A and B are shown apart, each in its own frame.
Chain A
Amino acid sequence: MIIVVNGKECTISATTLAGMLVELGLAETRIATAHGGAFVPRAARESCVLREGDKVEILAPMQGG
């Protein structure tokens, strides 16, 4: 199915947020996630079910002032 990840359409086969991160190679990285505009803590990624067209944000450390 197609999920919008960080503003870009992405075709994935996983059905949960946790599964999608594994598929994208991001499972072991230092990131935080949001689904449909709401924060999804690490512990809740497994139970976060994805549906066609859902929007996911994946954020990582970045330089800041």
Chain B
Amino acid sequence: MHVYGTELRSRLLLGTAQYPSPAVMVEAIQASATEVVTVSLRREGAGGEQGMAGQRFWDVLRPLNLRVLPNTAGCHSVKEAVLTAHMAREVFDTRWIKLEVIGEHDTLQPDVFGLVEAARILIADGFQVFPYTTEDLVVAGRLLDAGCEVLMPWGSPIGSGRGLNNVYGLRTLRAHFPEVPLVVDAGIGLPSHAAQAMELGYDAVLLNTAVAGAGDPPRMAKAMAQAVEAGRAAFLADPVRARDMAAPSTPVLGMPVFS
């Protein structure tokens, strides 16, 4: 797939949060064969072993030579998200930003009004925006009008592991924007969810908790990678449509008559 002119061979984007240890995170990233990992920004303490957690995290991640996609997680306003994006661009030295403007505490649902506004501002400032959005068609259109070249609709709420809550909506979004790279971001809990997103024709999936929170993150990372690959292959293979009644798969022509 191509996003903002960059070719990505892996269709699995992986988060870096919530792993039991940095070593397990690295192992999971390698098992997933991902090329893009999401990262974030937080306050850095001044001096001392305790205070330099951010530098240590970066020292672990940097040698993997992956493309990083910084997020604006936790931002609830356009102003916060834009400011965080600018700071992320300097820290990570990338124009890519996973734009999150959160509108609701319980569901972490995107504030799509703020999202469109922040996307416009950031694109004018030279950012390449990956908007975390819903499957809403009208919002998708506004984001594309703003200059987004990729859309990242949620499958279900962040960290819920519920899979694809609105398959109809996701399918409709895919059908309306056949040329736009679409990534299901958030809510994937199982490889079957990831495969389903890919079978719908989505270009990639972005997930974190499903791998980091599994009992064996590297094994789950590999399972997710296999699911994404299988789902993509199935989509390209043009699957049969479901039907209500049985249809014999074994030819009936030439059946013997025994009575």
Contacts and interface: CB of A to CB of B under 8 A. Distances in A.
Interface of A: 5-7, 10, 24-26, 29-34, 37-39, 41-42, 57-65
A29 B53 CA distance: 11
B87 A32 contact: yes
A32 B16 CA distance: 20
Given A5-B46, A6-B44, A61 B54 contact: yes
B55 interface: yes
A34 B209 contact: no
B92 A65 contact: no
B83 interface: yes
Contacts of A64: 15-17, 38-41, 70-71, 73
B63 interface: no
Contacts of A6: 43-45
B113 interface: no
Interface of B: 15-19, 25, 38-47, 52-55, 57-58, 61, 70-71, 73, 79, 83-84, 86-88, 90-92, 158-159, 208-209
Closest 9 CB pairs of A and B: A60-B54, A64-B40, A60-B44, A32-B87, A65-B15, A65-B208, A62-B42, A63-B17, A24-B46
Given A32-B91, A65-B38, A59 B47 contact: no
B18 A32 contact: no
B90 A63 contact: no
Contacts of A7: 43
Contact of A32 (B40, B46, B61, B90): B90
The winner among A24, A59, A65 for most chain B CB atoms within 10 A is A65
